[in-house]
């Protein structure tokens, strides 16, 4: 990958996450990346192609993070690890941008990236089963919903107290 190619990807991720995909023009991306607009189309073919490249790169990163959780053998630890993995305080800037993009895209393109979360959902279901919960499957979905909700609030609400809610949930899930 060329240096300018990476600059385009980086600039696009930042702008798409901040201002949305459809509402960010390719000329803006080019300007922000310090590159001619035509180069975007040379390398990525189309604006959609650019988005695809960003999402593909990000998915690889997600897999790495998830694999650390999924292969945890202790059920209780797995549940707590999941809660920690989504704590924005544990993320680098670029990771945060990528997550935000996921949520924005979800509503802009109206497609929930189910398959991405599927391995985590299964691992959580398994963990809750080991821990003796009555409805492990539903518990897993519930927890994923809670993580979604916290992320949403973290990104969109100014005065959201992420830390104390996660402490509250950790307590709930340890007994």
Which residue ranges make up the site for DNA (CB under 7 A)? 2-5, 22, 24-28, 34-39, 41-43, 46-48
Q: Please say which residue, 6 or 68, places its beta carbon nearer to DNA.
A: 6
Token readout for 11 is: 């600039």
Helices (H) and strands (E) in the chain, counts: 9, 0
> Which is nearer to DNA, 2 or 111 (by Cβ)?
2
In order of 52, 131, 141, the CA distances from 55 in angstroms are: 5, 35, 23
| Binding partner at 122 among a copy of itself, DNA, none, C-beta below 5 to 8 Å by kind | none
Q: Of the ranges 8-16, 48-56, 79-87, 108-116, which one interacts with a copy of itself (CB under 8 A)?
A: 108-116
Residue 16: Cβ within 10 Å count: 26
Report the residue number, 50 or 117, with the smaller CB distance to DNA. Answer: 50
From residue 38, how far is each of 25, 44, 52 by CA, in Å? Answer: 13, 10, 18
Pull the structure tokens for residue 118. Answer: 């599927």
Q: Are 75 and 41 in contact (CB under 8 A)?
A: no
Judged by CB under 8 A, which of 27, 46, 67, 138 binds a copy of itself?
138
Compare residues 4 and 116 and give the one whose CB is closer to DNA: 4
**Least distance (Å) between residue 27 CB and DNA:** 5
- C-alpha 44/C-alpha 1 separation (Å) is 12
CB count, 10 Å around CB of 14?
A: 18
Nearer to DNA, 25 or 174 (CB): 25
Instruction: Point out which residues bind a copy of itself (CB under 8 A).
Output: 20, 22-23, 103-104, 106-108, 110-112, 114, 135, 138, 141-142, 144-146, 148-150, 152-153, 155-157, 164-165, 168-169
């Amino acid at each position: 990958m060329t240096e300018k190619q990476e600059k385009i990807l980086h600039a696009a991720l930042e702008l798409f996450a901040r201002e949305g995909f459809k509402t960010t023009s390719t000329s803006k991306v080019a300007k922000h990346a310090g590159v001619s607009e035509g180069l975007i189309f040379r390398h990525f073919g189309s604006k959609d192609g650019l988005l695809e490249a960003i999402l593909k790169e990000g998915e690889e990163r997600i897999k790495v993070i998830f694999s650390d959780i999924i292969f945890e053998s202790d059920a209780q630890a797995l549940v707590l690890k999941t809660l920690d993995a989504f704590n924005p305080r544990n993320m680098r800037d670029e990771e945060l941008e990528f997550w935000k993009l996921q949520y924005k895209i979800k509503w802009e393109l109206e497609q929930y990236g189910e398959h991405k979360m599927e391995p985590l959902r299964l691992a959580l279901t398994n963990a809750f089963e080991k821990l003796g919960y009555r409805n492990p499957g539903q518990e897993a979905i519930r927890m994923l919903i809670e993580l979604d909700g916290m992320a949403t609030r973290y990104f969109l609400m100014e005065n959201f107290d992420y830390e104390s809610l996660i402490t509250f949930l950790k307590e709930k899930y340890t007994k």
